[in-house]
Amino acid sequence: MRSSGVKVWTAAAALGLSLAGCTGGAPSSSGSGGATGAEARSIRYLVEQPEDPTTLKKLESHIQEFEKSSGITVKLEAMPQDSMRTVLQTQLRSGDGPDVFNWGSGPGFAGALAKAGLLYDLTGAYKKYKWPVYGFAKERVTFGGKTYGVPGEMETLGLFYNKDLFSKLGVAPPQDLADLQAAVQKIRASGVTPIAVSDKEGWQGGHLLSMALSSEVGSQGMAELLDGKKSWDSPEVVRALQLWQDLNKSGALIKSPTSVGYDNANALFYSGDAAMVPTGSWLVTDLDKNADFKVGYIPFPGPDGPGIFTGGLGSGPFISAGTKKTAAALKLVDFLASSANARWTVENLKTIPPTAVDTKNLKVSPLFGQVLKDVSQLSGGSSDFGYNIDVMESDVFNKAMYDGVQGILSGQSSATDVAQSLEAASKK
């Protein structure tokens, strides 16, 4: 799960946390914390290291505004997400973790920490502060009837395409898989790579399956799979996996996608050497900076018509169950969950908060404006959207999915075998 902003990877690139054996429960959500005096008014806030250094500088300046208004000192720390995955677990379990930290929404991320008793219960805080979080987003940080965090920025997964190149070649944005296949043939004939797919890191495979499968079965079908009402070795899952294998065999993708990294695939798209790139809305900022052509963004095509965007949530703030500075931590989270902060993130970080935002007079690029409109429609329930699988499933399942899609793209596994491995993993 990879996302943008204060990183905010959603969207999608982790195996979750291995927390078996951790004990302890969250303190009452009405507690004021054990520290007193100046110590109680100094807290640590840990975020994932953003790719763009200017993002962290902007956040530092923004946090200074909170410090001035609240009298609370915030020690802002940033750590690469891969490192944070291990260090955060260790720190929280030892009681030496940050007071507030950003982490992924969903059962596979925050849910694992909540189950281990490492997150502070914010159920009472939601009633007190009345944070304007979309209901469906709040559900992604609610486990066992208790709400533990503020969900991160909203994201979609879809297909970015080079509008200028499509126009030059006389190719229309694909509305279904037949259109996609026809577009691929025309683009290949022009000497350009049709789709910049990378899977060296492995997590991209979760996105590829999420996109194709969501457009195949819709949100209801995805919910049935995630709830265990439908098996992961069903024909629909096999077809979604087979689609990527067939696209690879037909020459639609980068040669040997499992040896190509995420950033390299994006660079191929920026340079105009690839016509499409399947990834998330967090790429908009980089596209605005690096692409000197007009970029379009559509859902991954469905078998018989336009597909649906896959929706997800990035990293948002949580409070450690072990903090002794609950009152100060709650004030920071209240600041981060406010409508004013939501507008600030849109304007400064180009991320989309899980709350309604007044976009009047906002100056944004046409591409980001489109993404804002798409997300608004999804949030308002006027259009269907799918699920990012990896934030909804366990680390065991995600490993099977990441390894399985790599096997599909390297020609070492069949779609049927991978689907069977997903079904087996879902039962563990």
For residue 419, pLDDT over 60 is answered with yes
Predicted confidence band of residue 30 (pLDDT cuts 50, 70, 90):
very low
What is the mean predicted confidence (pLDDT) over 317-344? 95
Query: Which secondary structure element, helix H or strand E, spans residue 131, and what is its range?
Result: none
To the question of pTM greater than 0.85 for the whole model, the response is no
Provide the pLDDT for residue 381.
55
Three-state DSSP class for 193?
Answer: strand
The pair of structure tokens assigned to 342 is 């939501």
Angstrom distance (rounded) from CA 311 to CA 375: 8
Angstrom distance (rounded) from CA 285 to CA 291: 10
Angstrom distance (rounded) from CA 127 to CA 344: 24
Query: Which secondary structure element, helix H or strand E, spans residue 292, and what is its range?
Result: none
Angstrom distance (rounded) from CA 345 to CA 336: 10
For residue 203, pLDDT over 80 is answered with yes
Letter string b/e over residues 237-271, b meaning 16 or more CB atoms within 10 A of that residue's CB: bbbbbbbbbebbeeebbbeebbebebeebbbbbbe
For residue 175, pLDDT over 50 is answered with yes
The pair of structure tokens assigned to 31 is 């507690």
Q: What percent of the chain is predicted at pLDDT more than 70?
A: 89
Provide the pLDDT for residue 143.
95
What is the mean predicted confidence (pLDDT) over 361-384? 75
Provide the pLDDT for residue 22.
30
The pair of structure tokens assigned to 222 is 């995805």
Angstrom distance (rounded) from CA 49 to CA 45: 12
Angstrom distance (rounded) from CA 6 to CA 269: 24
Give the least confident one: 86-95, 155-164, 179-188, 197-206.
Answer: 86-95
Angstrom distance (rounded) from CA 304 to CA 369: 28
Predicted confidence band of residue 35 (pLDDT cuts 50, 70, 90):
low
**Which amino acid, 73?**
T
Angstrom distance (rounded) from CA 243 to CA 45: 43
Pairing mode, if any, of strands 386-387 and 154-162? Answer: unpaired
Angstrom distance (rounded) from CA 48 to CA 124: 27
For residue 380, pLDDT over 90 is answered with no
Is the CB of residue 318 less than 8 Å from the CB of residue 113? yes
What is the mean predicted confidence (pLDDT) over 80-97? 86
Angstrom distance (rounded) from CA 24 to CA 215: 41
Predicted confidence band of residue 27 (pLDDT cuts 50, 70, 90):
very low
Is the CB of residue 415 less than 8 Å from the CB of residue 213? no
Query: Which secondary structure element, helix H or strand E, spans residue 327, and what is its range?
Result: helix 326-336
As a whole number of Å, the end-to-end CA separation of the chain is 22
Q: Provide, for the chain, the percentages of residues in helix, strand and coil under a 3-state DSSP scheme, each rounded to the nearest 5.
A: 45, 15, 35
Which of 89-98, 211-220, 343-352 tops mean pLDDT? Answer: 211-220
Query: Which secondary structure element, helix H or strand E, spans residue 18, and what is its range?
Result: none
Domains of the chain (ranges, CATH numbers): 37-153+314-358 (3.40.190.10), 155-311 (3.40.190.10)
112 vs 150, residue with greater confidence: 150
Three-state DSSP class for 313?
Answer: strand
The pair of structure tokens assigned to 314 is 């990035």
